[in-house]
Structure 1
Amino acid sequence: MRKCIGAFVIFLFTALGSSAQDNWGGGVDDEVLHFGFTFQYVNSEFKVLKTPEWRTPFSTLYPQLQHDPSETILYDTLYSVSSSGSPGFGLGFVSNLRLGNNADLRFTPTLVFADRLAYYEYRYTGQVLEKKVQSSVIDLPLGIKIKSDRRKNFRAYLLAGAKYSMDIISKKKLDDENNIFSEKLLKNRKNYLSYEAGIGFDLYFEYFKLSPEIKFSQSFNDVLKHDVTPFASPVDKLYLRNIQFSLYFE
């Protein structure tokens, strides 16, 4: 996927470099308000902050609960809790308000489908359990775009802002009431706020403008839903991080 993205970007720059004149770009830079759409590739992971007693077996932390002896992880000591990047994709719209020659206000509502992964490694049994957090999220980012002056068919920019996210995954997929402890789900909060920053390029073609962009975001607060489970109990705070590659067509 990364090689395809890199090859595509190189192709775009080559195509623009071969143009002998300035392209019109659909005239979007002359409009006070214009619209577009976006395709996104998203890589999501957690930043995990553990509790002081995170290694303590779940059965020791909660002796008042009934534990099945066959669920060995309840009696084992944790060796590590970690997360790794997981791919996803998004589709959305662009609303761009021109603030000046070198600044825009952008609102880019997007529907993102991305799983998040957490791993629990146990010391004595050697088990490694993967917990997948499925999500279908509506992102509502609002940001300021600071642009360089245009050079022929090219312009660079920086972007900074914040986004409000709402997970719209069905409650049925999150129902684990009848699951045994070792099969409980790791759950996230439905709504959270993140900060984000990125860099991108405006590439001008004759009838439209294309903007490849790379952006980093992280939730301001803990996104973990703190249930009494073997997977939520060792975690003090869980922050969500995204690295996002977007193509904007305007």
Structure 2
Amino acid sequence: MKKIFVLISLAGSFYASAQLFNIKDRMDNLENFDNQKLSWGFFLNFGQNDYKIVLDPKYGSRGNKNLVSSKPTYSFGAGLMGKMRINDNFDLRLEPGLQFIERELKFDTQSNDQYAANDSFETRVLSKEDMEKRVKATTIDVPLLLEYHIDRWYNSRPYMAAGLNWMVNLQSNEKDEDDNQTASVFRSTTQNFGYSAEIGVQFYFDKFKLTPAFRGTFTINNELVKDNPGTPPYWASAINTAKGRSFMFILKFE
């Protein structure tokens, strides 16, 4: 069985090489595709998401121990892409997509009971629901990217891109009156801005172009909405800033 598997793998590799690179008697696939002024496609992506958090020195840490942590979680998304050719090496891309994101925060802040007398709040015994917050987001993400690519090498072309993002969280609870104490709601902002950096390789086939890529997206503004006045400093008060970040694997089809 191992020999058969090796033979099948080698045969598949030779076939893929012949299709993509076709070195002998080579004829490039989609030779004039990149000469179009405008083109379009779609993409799928799978990501890992968390928050980059800066903790409050009083409520968010105890000595060298951080009392709040952000655990990476996974997400998926899809969207459309439009591309405008600038010249032989630069393109401008707009890639609006819908991202389904969930981030997890853990609060080990029971020790903030010690501040109750001076800061005038009522202590409570934190439940599991109090200590583990899942922040869900259905986000419309609209990145505008400037792409730089080198010349084609047979039927492939490496590239890099960078740009700015405008993001709208359709599940935002920014204006909710309830907070972590009244309804166990961790609030976050509706509109956010960020930046992205991406690298990938474009592969040209007979009928379409496939691009696997890696992208990092980082929020610029603080996404944290503070708890209401009088809420004990177990949750949002323990955090100064929380900025979302995502690392994605993307498959693009044109």
Do they fold alike, i.e. is TM over 0.5? yes
Question: Hey, what does 2:18 align to over in structure 1?
Answer: 18
The verdict on how the C-alpha distance between 1:170 and 1:45 changes in structure 2, with shifts beyond 3 A counting, is closer
1:200 aligned partner, one-letter code: G
Question: Hey, what does 2:191 align to over in structure 1?
Answer: 191
The verdict on how the C-alpha distance between 1:156 and 1:13 changes in structure 2, with shifts beyond 3 A counting, is farther
Match of 2:235 among 222, 226, 231: 231
In the TM superposition, residue 190 of structure 1 has moved relative to its aligned partner by 0.3
Question: Hey, what does 1:158 align to over in structure 2?
Answer: 160
Structure showing greater Rg:
2
The verdict on how the C-alpha distance between 1:243 and 1:103 changes in structure 2, with shifts beyond 3 A counting, is same
2:58 aligned partner, one-letter code: E
State percent identity of aligned pairs: 27
1:53-68 equivalent positions in 2, closer than 5 A: 53-55=58-60
Question: Hey, what does 1:245 align to over in structure 2?
Answer: 249
1:71-220 equivalent positions in 2, closer than 5 A: 80-122=67-109, 129-169=131-171, 177=178, 181=181, 183-220=183-220
2:236 aligned partner, one-letter code: A
Is contact 1:176-1:184 (8 Å) kept? no
User: Using the alignment, how far apart are the partners of 1:218 and 1:165 within structure 2?
Assistant: 11
TM-score, normalisation: structure 1: 0.78
Matched, 1:43 2:40: no
User: Using the alignment, how far apart are the partners of 1:180 and 1:50 within structure 2?
Assistant: 17
Q: Secondary structure at the match of 2:33?
A: helix
In the TM superposition, residue 127 of structure 1 has moved relative to its aligned partner by 7.0
2:135 aligned partner, one-letter code: V
The verdict on how the C-alpha distance between 1:168 and 1:27 changes in structure 2, with shifts beyond 3 A counting, is farther
Q: Secondary structure at the match of 2:225?
A: coil
Is contact 1:110-1:138 (8 Å) kept? yes
TM-score, normalisation: structure 2: 0.77
Is contact 1:26-1:209 (8 Å) kept? no
1:244 aligned partner, one-letter code: M
Q: Secondary structure at the match of 2:236?
A: coil
Paired positions, count: 217
Q: Secondary structure at the match of 1:100?
A: coil
Structure 2 residue runs of 5 or longer lacking an equivalent are: 1-11, 112-124
1:155 aligned partner, one-letter code: R
Structure 1 residue runs of 5 or longer lacking an equivalent are: 1-11, 58-77
In the TM superposition, residue 51 of structure 1 has moved relative to its aligned partner by 1.3
User: Using the alignment, how far apart are the partners of 2:58 and 2:92 within structure 1?
Assistant: 45
Is contact 1:196-1:215 (8 Å) kept? yes
The verdict on how the C-alpha distance between 1:149 and 1:185 changes in structure 2, with shifts beyond 3 A counting, is same
In the TM superposition, residue 23 of structure 1 has moved relative to its aligned partner by 4.1
The verdict on how the C-alpha distance between 1:180 and 1:118 changes in structure 2, with shifts beyond 3 A counting, is closer
In the TM superposition, residue 13 of structure 1 has moved relative to its aligned partner by 8.0
Is contact 1:194-1:220 (8 Å) kept? yes
Q: Secondary structure at the match of 2:166?
A: strand
